[in-house]
């Protein structure tokens, strides 16, 4: 994984499945992506596929 150098606009973020976090599933599904911190100051919430839930669910940005 390449870390961001300097104070560029794009930063790496981690998205975590909200269903796996609340339910007692065998694992937690996570995605790593980038976002522009100047355009999107709030936390991102996207719908992605979770292999543990076996379907599409909402993913929230973690710290």
Nearest-angstrom CA–CA distance, 22 and 20: 6
Residue range of the domain that includes 51: 10-62
Question: Domains in the chain: how many in total?
Answer: 1
Q: Tokens 């909402």, residue?
A: 58
User: Does residue 22 belong to any structural domain of this protein?
Assistant: yes
What predicted TM-score, i.e. pTM, was given to this entire model?
0.74
Find the CATH number of the domain harbouring 23: 2.20.28.120
Q: What angle do CA 26, 19, 17 make, to 5 degrees?
A: 85
Residue-wise pLDDT for 1-50, tens only, equals 556 566 788 999 999 998 887 776 666 788 999 999 899 889 999 999 98
Burial of 20 (0-12, 13-18, 19+ CB in 10 A): buried
Q: Tokens 């007692």, residue?
A: 24
């Amino acid at each position: 994984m390449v870390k961001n150098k300097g104070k560029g606009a794009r930063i790496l973020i981690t998205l975590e499945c909200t269903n796996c976090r609340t339910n007692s599933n065998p694992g937690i599904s996570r995605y790593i992506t980038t976002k522009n911190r100047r355009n999107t100051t709030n936390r991102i919430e996207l719908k992605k596929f979770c292999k543990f839930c076996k379907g599409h669910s909402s993913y929230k940005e973690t710290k």
